[in-house]
Amino acid sequence: MTESPARRAVLFDFGGVLTTSVVAAFEGLGRELGAEPGLLLRLLSKDKESAALLVAHEEGRIGQREFEDGFAARLRAHGVAVDDGDDGPGLVSGLQARLRPDAEMVALVAKVRADGYRVGMLSNSLGDDCYAGFDLPALFDARTVSGEIGVRKPSRRAYAIACEQLGVRPEETVMVDDLEQNITAAARLGIAGVVHRDAPTTAAGLARLLAPLDHH
């Protein structure tokens, strides 16, 4: 498939792209709870009630505490002992404690922007304060967060809004995301994609897709 040579903007996902693996964080939290490591992600994708809670939270219709309380109940229904602390089950903070910034990716975002490309973030938010520790305004020209716009990836509308906020057309844009289904969804609007695995591979993928800029 031949990509258009006119790509001049990049949308970066947050969790699992600017941070260490979200999958590994969920598996670690599962182990801490005494669950089979893959159970948490499996419930969020396959269990109807858990999935509905996640969508409602990522779209900003329920807050972190309501999501956690509901998900803790689903985990208990599957035999996992989840304690309730003073501030709730602590599932999101337990997850976030396992996510660390990926310094190479933060540096890559800064380089792409310094090279003159438009750089935005498109993120499905999980937790009321999931971007703590990141100076997002310093990194990105525009930031599109599912909980603020009321729609989440892989909805076409989420990508369209992100492009609007970045001031570019989809066919000028590349999406970097750790989930292949989010790249597939972006392609439906004409957005090129890089499935993120590590910083060097993503940098090489962007180098192939981004148009040379005229710096006159």
DSSP H helices, the chain, are 22-32, 39-46, 48-58, 64-77, 91-96, 103-114, 136-139, 146-149, 156-166, 180-187, 199-209
Model pLDDT, residue 100:
94
Give me the residues paired with residue 123 across strands: 145
Report d(CA 83, CA 69) in Å as an integer: 10
> pLDDT tens across 46-63, in order?
999 999 999 999 999 999
Predicted confidence band of residue 215 (pLDDT cuts 50, 70, 90): low
pTM of the predicted model as reported, rounded to 2 decimal places: 0.93
Q: What is the tens place of the pLDDT at every residue in 148-168?
A: 999 999 999 999 999 999 999
Q: What is the mean pLDDT of residues 115-125?
A: 97
What is the pLDDT, as a whole number, of residue 2?
46
Q: Which residues pair with 7 in a beta bridge?
A: 210
- Band (pLDDT 50/70/90 cuts) for residue 133 is confident
Cα–Cα distance measured from residue 9 to residue 32, given in angstroms and rounded to the nearest whole number: 40
CB atoms within 10 A of CB 132: 8
Q: Is the pLDDT of residue 147 over 90?
A: yes
CB burial readout 50-60, b (16+ within 10 A) else e: beebbeebbbb
Among residues 98, 45, 37, 48, which one has the least CA distance to residue 77? Answer: 48
The 10s digit of each residue's pLDDT in 180-205 is 999 999 999 999 999 999 999 999 99
Residue 4 has what pLDDT?
Answer: 53
